[in-house]
Amino acid sequence: MDLVNHLTDRLLFAVPKKGRLYEKCVTLLKGADIQFNRSNRLDIALCLNLPIALIFLPAADIPTFVGEGRCDLGITGVDQVKESDVEVELAMDLLFGKCKLQIQVPQNGPYTKPEQLIGKTIVSSFTNLTQQYFQQLEGVKPGEPTKTKVKFVGGSVEASCALGVGDAIVDLVESEPIPSRFG
């Protein structure tokens, strides 16, 4: 059944279902006096004091659900919005995190600048943004293939070089960057 058809009297508000962003969202919602009880097994919580239904989704999925009109609004990272390539209005920066998407290479490896990675294998969970970066670096038009191969890994991206899956990674770095040859 289509959830949207049963909650027409409520604002559908997508929020991250876990992680640091989830914790910050819950704090924000409570500070705004949005009262709800969420069962650990359910990804929907009806607000007790307002006509809102909180929809708990993976942060990466929120731009799609909002962009397609399945949720009225949502909270997620700008990185997730850019990676999704879905058109949504960025209404407000909540200043939850100071993160940066960064290229990282093995500390004692042969690479000292991004141009040396052209034609190599790059591993990331942000494949669209990584592909766009290397298209620009290689001077390739959007949609045209690059010499650089971009592989998707959803978790443990940082283990990719050590396990021989890639020559470098592109990953989200929170706060201070971890040691690498270039940012």
Residue 1 pLDDT grade (very low, low, confident, very high; cuts 50, 70, 90): very low
* pLDDT tens digits, one per residue of 94-146: 888 677 889 999 988 899 999 999 999 999 999 999 999 999 999 999 888 99
- CATH 3.40.190.10-classified regions of the chain: 3-97, 100-174
What dotted CATH number matches 100-174?
Answer: 3.40.190.10
Strand 11-16 and strand 52-57: the pairing is parallel
* CA–CA distance, 183 with 177 (Å, rounded to integer): 8
Architecture of 3-97 per CATH?
Answer: 3-Layer(aba) Sandwich (3.40)
Answer for the pair 52, 25: CB distance below 8 angstroms, yes or no.
no
φ, ψ for residue 39, nearest 5 deg: -75, 145
Contacts 24+ apart (CB under 8 A), 2-8: 3/44, 3/55, 4/70, 7/53
* CA–CA distance, 96 with 181 (Å, rounded to integer): 27
Strand 99-104 and strand 168-174: the pairing is antiparallel
Tell me, yes or no, if the pTM score tops 0.85: no
* CA–CA distance, 54 with 177 (Å, rounded to integer): 33
Q: Any idea what DSSP says for residue 42? A: -
Q: Any idea what DSSP says for residue 47? A: B
